[in-house]
Amino acid sequence: MKTKILATVFFVIIFSFYKAQNYTIKQIDSLISSATELSRKTPNKAVSVNERNYKIAQKANYTAGMIKSLNMLSISYLNMGNFEKALFCAKQTEKKASEIDDYKNICNGLRISASSYSLLGLDAEAQEMMNKAFIMVDKIADQDGFYETKGNLYCTKIDIMVYGSKEVSVPKLSEYTKKSINAFSKIKNTEIRNYSLGLAYSNLGLIYVEQKEFDSAYYYMNKSSDLATIERNPYNKCVALNGLVYASMQQKKYKQAISYLEELIPLSKKSNEFNLLKSSYQSMERSYDSIGNKEKKLEYLTRFNKLSDSLSKVDRALRDTSIEKIVKEKEETFMKDRQRLYLLIAAVCLLSVLVCYFSYKAFINYKQEKEKAQHKENVIEEKESELIELKQKVNNAFEEVIELAKNNDPPFLTRFQEVYPNIIKKLLQIDPQLQSSELRFCAMLFLNFSSKDIAEYTFVQHQSIQTRKNRLRKKLNIPTQEDIYLWLKNLDN
């Protein structure tokens, strides 16, 4: 009674949220949190709720909400055998999660795609998805998210091995199951840890059944059942009971199997777990057959056949549609790739023609530039020859002027003016009253004669040369801090 009241309150709250016109992010997160709990406990009943949540998140442009809803939808569709929708939602989960670097849901999308491909018999595609997921999982920063996802990947690896076309290795199954339990045990969130461990314990129990270690099998399946009871999780309870049925039948304890089945069948119906319900009918039929109850055997055989026919039609239709769609997508991808290849070949051909054309043009330009460069080189050589000749003349004139200065010859100033016409001209522009002796003195300074040299060549005292320098500075307004030699050199620029 209490459970019914809580369920009623839950759906009233959900309904009131859906009726609202706009939702805050907090409200959408609350809806998704409730849907997540419902998905874990009864995944086959959660489709409509998750579809509505996705539309609400989409309307609010809330990417994280859309991703979570798509992920739960992919799990529900996979559980129901609708591989086409499971693959669509899984790929959308991966795509949208990639846009915001949500590595946990990238992995979730990849592993649901892998499970779907495996159940459709596409082992290579399944393995490709799993390889990508195991690369991505190490990028998950949140510790609980990392351990939950890592454990789920190992569980998916187990499912792929069981449903795949290759022979099952029990030691490998045991290894992956223990790895999943080790990962799940590190989750701090109690609800997520118990839910995940419940499924992993059921897997380990089934492995012990295959190894004929029945005490260990019952131990782990009962642990799974107890966790499901604590968390009030009908789905995990169904999985655990189904494992206990299998263990009992392997030991030929048919009455014990029937007692478990009597609990499992109504719970499977309530949870809409029709595949589990079908296998339960079959197990019940075989158990009653083994203990000699023909009437009950016939009853459950009839139920099994009826449900099996119904599910087979749906499963076959869904499987055929899914495979047909995947094949069609592959063909379309192949055609697109082929078109891209043709375009690439055409582009390469065009590029080759352009390269040839521009190479030819470049060769012609190179030839022309080379001819121009050769002409310039010839001109430069001529100019350099002229320059050398000019330098030689200048050097000869310089040496001649120097000799005239050293000998204190009267033609010195005249020859200096011929070789360096700008100097005398600029000095007279500064001071037109400059005398020949002063101009002669400036010329010797320009030629870098030291005070001692000038004194020697002009037959005057060294002190007189310094005095003449000071007078010259005043006449020509040369600052005392400026080098008079440099000042005169700058007149020639």
Per-residue pLDDT reduced to its tens digit, 16-66: 544 445 889 999 999 999 988 888 888 888 899 999 999 999 999 999 999
Q: What's the pLDDT band for 316 if we cut at 50, 70, 90?
A: low
Q: Nearest Cα to 469, choosing from 456, 457, 491, 454?
A: 454
Contact 278, 304 (CB under 8 A): yes
Q: Please count the helices (runs of H) and the strands (runs of E) in the chain.
A: 21, 0
CB neighbour list of residue 321: distance below 8 Å, 6 or more residues apart: 84
| pLDDT score for 309 | 82
| pLDDT score for 180 | 94
| pLDDT score for 343 | 65
Contact 23, 60 (CB under 8 A): yes
Mean pLDDT of the chain: 83
In whole angstroms, give the CA distance from residue 99 to residue 185. 31
Q: Nearest Cα to 18, choosing from 33, 5, 28?
A: 28
* Report field, pTM of the whole predicted structure over 0.85: no
Tell me the pLDDT tens digit for each residue of 236-280.
999 999 999 999 999 999 999 999 999 999 998 888 888 888 899
